[in-house]
Amino acid sequence: MNSVHLIGRLATDVEVKEVNGGSKVSSFILAVDRNAEEADFFRIKAWNSQAEAAGDHLGKGRRIAVEGSLRQDVYEKDGEERKAVSVVARRLEYL
């Protein structure tokens, strides 16, 4: 099972891009409080209609709940293969 549930605040504004022949993807960083002094930061991605809605309704500081799954992305930077884990949202709830 690959399931993630997070509640936090957007640490960045939402960036929406068009990829692969018209699909839309949004990306932002979610800050989730670990305790009163520390937080963990997660890259969240949403696709198509959720991507558009996130771009229209979310901004830095907004509190949301995210339900999704973990995905490992592999990409190349400066000639080296890199890996990064992100959360692919199945559901975004505006709190």
Confidence of residue 33 (pLDDT cuts 50, 70, 90): very high
**Is the pLDDT at 89 greater than 90, yes or no?**
yes
Average pLDDT over residues 28-53: 96
Residue pair 81/61 in contact (Cβ under 8 Å)? The answer is: no
- Distances, alpha carbon 63 to alpha carbons 7, 21, 50, 60, 83, in Å: 7, 32, 16, 9, 28
**What residue segments make up the domains of the chain, in order of their start?**
4-94
Structure tokens at 34: 């670990």
pLDDT averaged over the chain? Answer: 95
Q: Which two tokens stand for residue 36?
A: 């009163």
SS3 26: strand
> Which tens digit of pLDDT belongs to each residue from 5-15?
999 999 999 99
Identify the CATH class of 4-94: mainly beta
Residue 21 has pLDDT above 90, yes or no: no
